[in-house]
Structure 1
């Protein structure tokens, strides 16, 4: 069995069977390629169906010198997944990563913005700003309002379709990781901004044929890239003098944190965020411990 063939089969499995995004598949591929490069550089001739613990363990140790604990854990997890696939397909009977432990890492708490920070960022948008006659300021305000009010991932925002808007019912349909779809409630205020953008701005764009159903467009009539959303947010942070490193995901974290602080049910937040496991959502329980103290003071009978 050749490494390249095994890797191509694995990538096909990740895309078709597991429905992973191209970004996720690239990350998994990169983990395996690191091992392949190590074998080539050290003249080790072991195919993926026979390579064993004694060969992989020195590779992990060597990389650990230049990787932090989180990156080591990610690499080990990626390789374990690859060899689990080979076991699943009966190419081998054991996983050589079974006895390699990942380093202990703490859960990274997400960065969040205060409500005042978000108001300041949105207020800093010049909604009269135009580019080639297109009111991109109005578009940018709508993007930030939608990110925050619906808790979307950046890819979910850029992939949002006109046909995903169910305003009469008060929901939008969101396509998340693994092409899993969920319905997320959307407030009247955000609906208002989307309708302004859709009816007054988007109609002035010469939309490319393949993006006729895409909601947010650039001035050339194509789908906005993830990088463009990052740029818009970073420019606003600089403009307002915000002393935090923020990204589109910061709005998603803030959405969840503010809901929790205002008494929302953790299960409801999980459904809106599209988390497969509530364990992922529980990280927001640790973001603001003062809120937990306030809950105890307010509701415990012996406060």
Structure 2
């Protein structure tokens, strides 16, 4: 358990909320780090530190946010927002639309944030004001406020060649134990389509390995949604091997499936989101990939299922998507989707030409077509 700092001056939380604070800080991870940074800073706004803790506890306890990284990102964005308001001499509880515009301009001109990053920052601030409004502690100035336009980019996946390159270099780890962990983790990312937070917080009791060939992963995803993903084949065998090796780690002090094995860090603790990202980055660089990402395994999982004939609704459930439109965006880069193209004879009909590689008798037939692909009646 991580040491919990004494409550700072100005923090006025009831006993139960102080206990929740201790639990969240004691768990460590990105959210604990963000809240420690908030507590270490001197704020001019009276009561802000207490409000911040109550808002965070509402997200985690009441609304059921299981994604600690998302809440941590929200905290950091809102802390910057409150800092901006204090520097501008503004009361964040009585902000106007024009002042909110000023904050967005500040993000663009001073912090050089992209439209996507400014939109994410607005989502975090909107969450805070929604909380205050629901408790009668302030007006939600963000209600109806239109932020930067959402930038939709095409999902990216790993090709079969890239996957082979990745798994070919996994054995180059610093030790056999690290090799076993990384191989099992990367294969599980591919075979179950887990988010980085889901795999970093995955516990041993969430794995149901009924044999060395078949099993299930019980996942707690975004929005407190639980789903079960079946797994078969090599990934099950690799997980069995890794769990056996994991049980022999003397420094082990967590129930996380994937643990930190570096002596420079907290050896035996959960690997964490950053550890998962670093593992993928390190492996991708060894494989000589120009670009990579943890999320690409998730996109690859979805597109491979679709190419193998799985229906979109089933894929949505396995991915834990709330909207099927999100699933469709992933599948846009699948091989099955890309098999559909306008046939060459349609283009030749529009151009009034025929393919050069056809025999003369076939070219004659093509010239007689009316453009619809149908020969005129005799």
Q: Judge same fold: TM > 0.5, yes or no.
A: yes
Greater displacement, 142-151 / 34-43: 34-43
**Residues 221 and 104 (structure 1), Cα distance of their counterparts in 2 relative to 1, 3 Å cut:** closer
Q: Secondary structure at the match of 1:166?
A: strand
Does the Cα contact within 8 Å between 2:82 and 2:92 map onto a contact in 1? no
Equivalent residue number for residue 189 of structure 1: 234
Q: After superposition, where does 1:3-14 map in structure 2 within 5 Å?
A: 3-14=48-59
1:51 aligns with 2:98: no
Whole-Å separation in 2 of the counterparts to 1:243 and 1:36? 38
Greater displacement, 249-258 / 94-103: 94-103
**Structure 2: segments with no counterpart, 5+ residues:** 1-45, 262-266, 343-371, 374-378
Equivalent residue number for residue 202 of structure 1: 246
Equivalent residue number for residue 188 of structure 2: 146
Q: Secondary structure at the match of 1:186?
A: strand
**Residues 74 and 147 (structure 1), Cα distance of their counterparts in 2 relative to 1, 3 Å cut:** same
Does the Cα contact within 8 Å between 1:158 and 1:224 map onto a contact in 2? yes
Q: Secondary structure at the match of 2:217?
A: strand
Structure 2 counterpart of 1:234, from 281, 284, 288: 281
Equivalent residue number for residue 121 of structure 2: 75
Q: Secondary structure at the match of 1:251?
A: helix
1:122 aligns with 2:167: yes
Deviations 1:119-171 (A, max 9, x none): 221122227x563xx53212221111111011111222232233222223731
Deviations 1:32-52 (A, max 9, x none): 2233222222223x251x322
Offset of 1:54 from its aligned partner?
Answer: 3.2
Q: Secondary structure at the match of 1:25?
A: helix
Q: Secondary structure at the match of 1:8?
A: helix
Give the number of the structure with larger relative contact order, counting CA–CA contacts within 8 Å between residues 6 or more apart.
Answer: 1
Tell me the matched-pair count: 289
Whole-Å separation in 1 of the counterparts to 2:150 and 2:246? 45
Whole-Å separation in 1 of the counterparts to 2:181 and 2:314? 29
Whole-Å separation in 1 of the counterparts to 2:99 and 2:153? 31
Q: Secondary structure at the match of 1:275?
A: coil
Q: Secondary structure at the match of 1:263?
A: coil
Equivalent residue number for residue 63 of structure 1: 107
**Residues 35 and 222 (structure 1), Cα distance of their counterparts in 2 relative to 1, 3 Å cut:** closer
Whole-Å separation in 1 of the counterparts to 2:284 and 2:92? 49
Does the Cα contact within 8 Å between 2:157 and 2:297 map onto a contact in 1? yes
**Residues 287 and 293 (structure 1), Cα distance of their counterparts in 2 relative to 1, 3 Å cut:** closer
Offset of 1:293 from its aligned partner?
Answer: 5.1
**Structure 1: segments with no counterpart, 5+ residues:** none
Structure 1 counterpart of 2:155, from 105, 110, 114: 110
Equivalent residue number for residue 176 of structure 1: 221
Q: Secondary structure at the match of 1:217?
A: coil
Q: Secondary structure at the match of 2:218?
A: strand
Does the Cα contact within 8 Å between 1:2 and 1:47 map onto a contact in 2? no
